[in-house]
Homo-oligomer: A and B are copies of this chain.
Amino acid sequence: MIDLTRRYRFAAAHRLHSRSLTAEENARIYGKCNNPYGHGHNYILDVTVAGPVDAATGMVFDVAKLDLVVRQSVLEPLDHAHLNLDVDRFQNLTPTTENLCMEIYGILSANLTHEPGKAFLKRVRLEETSSNYFEYEG
């Protein structure tokens, strides 16, 4: 088993605000991130797949296929979007980086079919700023 990690980037805006909290709680918990108009980040997304190396090709996963799946299912809907306003999933879910990381894992997990004996989705790592990143393994 070997791991391949591939890096992608997207830029998006979000506002941290939870419907299940009062205005005061939102302001206290999220601070400047609760600013009504939102703010934004350059997210760095690292996708890790793990599996055996194919004897004929010497590769663990078809990188072109991985790029296609990530681009169509993650980058196109999220890049240059306002997460709260442009993305259905975040109408009722606060787009913290935790929730965004788990949502991306779920999308990729559904779109990267796991054939027996082949590589599978192992981990999603989402970096919000150079001081902060999140990792989710399902």
CA distance A87 to B90 in the complex (A): 26
Interface string of A68-92 (1 = CB under 8 A from B): 0000000000011110011000000
Interface string of A40-77 (1 = CB under 8 A from B): 11100000000001011111101110000000000000
Contact check, A58 vs B96: say whether CB atoms are below 8 A apart.
Answer: yes
Using C-beta atoms within 8 Å of the partner chain, give the interface range for chain A: 35 or more
Contact check, A3 vs B85: say whether CB atoms are below 8 A apart.
Answer: no
Kindly list chain B residues whose C-beta atoms are within 8 Å of the C-beta of A63: 132
CA distance A40 to B93 in the complex (A): 19
This chain: copies in complex: 6
Contact of A41 among B8, B11, B99 (CB under 8 A): B11
Within 8 A of B (CB), among A1-47: 1-9, 11-14, 16, 18, 20-21, 29, 31-33, 35, 37-42
Contact check, B130 vs A21: say whether CB atoms are below 8 A apart.
Answer: no
Contact of A96 among B16, B32, B59, B82 (CB under 8 A): B59
Smallest CB separation, A129 vs chain B (Å)? 5
Kindly list chain B residues whose C-beta atoms are within 8 Å of the C-beta of A33: 80
Within 8 A of B (CB), among A81-138: 81-82, 85-86, 93-96, 98-99, 101-102, 128-137
